[in-house]
Structure 1
C-alpha cells in the first residue's frame, strides 16, 4: 500500500504520542511531582484571574453607568483606573461593614451563651422531667445529672492545662506555620496585582487571545471556542450577580422580619443567612440551623417560631421575589441545579458548588441547542419524504 505524505505525518504523530505516553507511565512519580509544582506556580495567577472575573462585574457597572458621562480624551484614560479603584473600595467597604457588624455580635453572643448554657441545661432537664414523669427509669437517670453541680471552673482550668501541655509541640511548628502564612500573604498579593493587570488591559488581552487561537486553530474550532467562552462568561456573570442579589434580599428580609417580631440576634443572623445563601440551595439552611441554635439557647419557643419564619420567607423569596428580580440567571432547570450542587460539592466542596452550576448550565445550553438543531433537521427530512 502506498503511503502519501499525509499518512506518513499521521503515523509519525501516533508514534510520538505513544512514546510520550510510555515516558509518562515510566516516570509517573516525577511527572506527578512536576504537575503539582506547576499547579503551585500557576495557582496565584489562576486565583488572580478568578478575582478579576468577579471584580469585572462591579467595575463594568461603574464604568458604564457612573462614569458614562466622561467623554474627553483625558477622562477616557482615567476611566478604567478609577472604575477599578471604586470597585475595590466597594468590595472592601462591604467586607468591613459586615465584619464591624458581625464580630461584635459574635463576641456578645459567645459571652451570652457562656452565661445561658447552664441555665438552658437546667430548663431542658426540667422539661424532660415533666415529659417523662410517667417513666421512672428515665427520670432516675435524669435526676443523677445535675447541671447546677457542674464545676465549670475546673473544666476551664483543665482546658487551659491541656493547651499548655501542647504548647511545646506548637512552638516546634511555629516556623513552618509562619512561613506558610507569609507564603499565603505573598500569593494573595500576587493574585490581587495580577487581577488588577487583567482588569486594566482586559480588551487587549482578549484581542491577543483571539489572534492566538485564530492563528493556530481551524476556523470551525476557533468559532466553537469563542462561542463556548462567551456563553460560559455570560453564565458565570449572571450566576454571580443573581446569587449576590438573592443573598442581599434574603438577608435584608430576615433582618427586618426578625426585628419586627422581636427575635434576638437579628442583624447577625440576617448577615449570616445572606452569606451562606451564596451557596446554592443548601446555603440558607446552614444559616437557618445556626440561627435557630443561637435563638434556642435564649428562648426555645422563639427558635420554633424562627423556623416558621424561615420557611415563610424562603417560600416568599423563592416563588415571588427571586423570579422577578433575578429570574433564571443561568437558564438551568432546578433538577440540574441540584445535580450540579451535589456533584460539585462532592468533588470540590463549597467552591465546586459555585463553579459547577455555570459549567453545567453552559453544557446544558450547548446540548439543548444541538438537540433542537438535529431534531429540526430530522423533521425537515421526514416532511421531505412524505
Structure 2
C-alpha cells in the first residue's frame, strides 16, 4: 500500500487530486502579460510605418480601376499603366507645391517688410490709437522685434517648420513608393489572401473581396471627381473676381474637398480668408459663394457621383468618419467610409444570411 492511499482509493482505483501549482500559473500568466505589453509597445513604435502601409494599400486598391481602364482603353501593359498613374500623381504634387510655396513666401516677405509701415498706419486709426494708449501695443511689438532672443526663437521656429516639411515630404515619398509596389503586386496579394481561406469557402470570399475592392476604387474615383469639380468651380469664381491666387486657392479647395464631412468647409474658409486680406468685401462675397456651392455639392453633385460608389447610410458615414478621425486623425477620416462600406458588405452577404437561417 502506498503511503497516503486509503482503503477507498484502493477499492475504487481513484487517484487522489493533485494540488494546483499556483507558482506555475502565476509565472505563465506573467509571461503572457509581458508578451502582450512588448507586442503593444512594438506596434506603437512602428505605428507610423503601419499607417504608411495602410494608406499605400488603400491608394493601390483605389487607383486599380484607373490602371485597369488605361490598360483596356489604350492597350497598355499593366506596368506602363501603373507608371503613368504614378507620373500623374508626381506631376500633381509638383504643381501643388509650385502653386503654394512661391505665393506663401512672397506674402510672408511682404508682411515682414511692410510691418513698420503697417504699424504706423494703425497708429493713425482712432480705435487702434486708443488701444495702443491703453496697452502699449506698438511698444510691445517693437520691443519683441528688438529682443536678442527673438532671432533665436524665430530660427528655432523655422527649424521646426523645416522639420515638419521634411517629414511630410519623406512620408509622401514613402507612401508613393509603397503604392507603386502594391499596385504592381495587387493581384498577387489578393490571391495570397484568398488562398488562406479553406477551399470550400474560397469562392464566396473571393466574390466578397472583389466587391470590396471595387467599392473602394469607386469611392476614391468619386472623391477625386467631386474634388476636381470643386476645384474647377473655385478657380473660375476666384479668377472672375480678379484674385491673383486663383490657381493656388483652387488647388487648396480641391485637395481639402477630399476630406469627408468638413473638407469643403475648410477649403471655403481658407479661400475666403485669403481673398478677404486684399478686399474684405470680396472675402465676404467669396464666403457666401462657397456656402452656396457647399449646399449644391452636398445635395446635388456628391450624391450623383457617389451613388454607385459606397452603399452606406448617411448616419454610418458620419459615425465612421468621426470615429476614424478620432483614432487616426486625417488618415482615419479618409479610410473610415470605405471601411464602413466593406463592413456593410460583410454584414449583408455573410452575417445576416447566417442569422436568417437559424
TM range (shorter): 0.7 to 0.9
- Structure 2 residue aligned with 1:122: 122
Per the TM alignment, residue 351 of structure 1 is displaced from its structure 2 partner at its CA by 0.6
Question: Is the Cα contact below 8 Å between 1:51 and 1:192 reproduced in 2?
Answer: no
Distance in 1, Cα, partners of 2:121 & 2:355? 65
Per the TM alignment, residue 199 of structure 1 is displaced from its structure 2 partner at its CA by 2.8
- Structure 2 residue aligned with 1:65: 73
Pairing 1:145-160 to 2, within 5 Å after superposition: 149=138, 154-158=143-147
Deviation per residue, 1:51-82 (Å, 9 max, x gap): 533443432232122226xxxxxxxxxx1221
Q: Does 1:340 align with 2:320?
A: yes
Q: Does 1:213 align with 2:196?
A: yes
Per the TM alignment, residue 376 of structure 1 is displaced from its structure 2 partner at its CA by 8.6
With the length of structure 2 as denominator, give the TM-score of the two structures. Answer: 0.73
- Structure 2 residue aligned with 1:302: 282
Pairing 1:304-323 to 2, within 5 Å after superposition: 304-323=284-303
Q: Does 1:106 align with 2:90?
A: no
Q: 1:30 aligns with which of 38, 44, 67?
A: 38
- Structure 2 residue aligned with 1:6: none
Question: Is the Cα contact below 8 Å between 1:106 and 1:268 reproduced in 2?
Answer: no
Task: Provide structure 1 residue ranges, at least 5 long, that are not aligned to the other structure.
Answer: 1-17, 69-78, 130-138, 379-386
Note the aligned Cα RMSD (angstroms): 4.3
Task: Provide structure 2 residue ranges, at least 5 long, that are not aligned to the other structure.
Answer: 1-25
Distance in 1, Cα, partners of 2:354 & 2:123? 67
Compare 115-124 and 265-274 and name the one that shifted more: 115-124
With the length of structure 1 as denominator, give the TM-score of the two structures. Answer: 0.68
Question: Is the Cα contact below 8 Å between 1:62 and 1:87 reproduced in 2?
Answer: no
Deviation per residue, 1:296-338 (Å, 9 max, x gap): 3222222211111111222233333333344352122322222
Pairing 1:188-337 to 2, within 5 Å after superposition: 193-210=177-194, 212-214=195-197, 217=198, 219-220=200-201, 222-223=202-203, 225-263=205-243, 265-337=245-317
Distance in 1, Cα, partners of 2:337 & 2:354? 25
Deviation per residue, 1:207-232 (Å, 9 max, x gap): 3432x324xx3734x45543442333
**How has the CA–CA distance of structure 1 residues 94 and 239 changed in structure 2, closer, same or farther, with 3 Å as cutoff?**
same
Distance in 2, Cα, partners of 1:259 & 1:329? 32
Distance in 2, Cα, partners of 1:326 & 1:89? 26
Pairing 1:64-83 to 2, within 5 Å after superposition: 64-67=72-75, 79-83=77-81
- Structure 2 residue aligned with 1:92: 90
Per the TM alignment, residue 269 of structure 1 is displaced from its structure 2 partner at its CA by 1.7
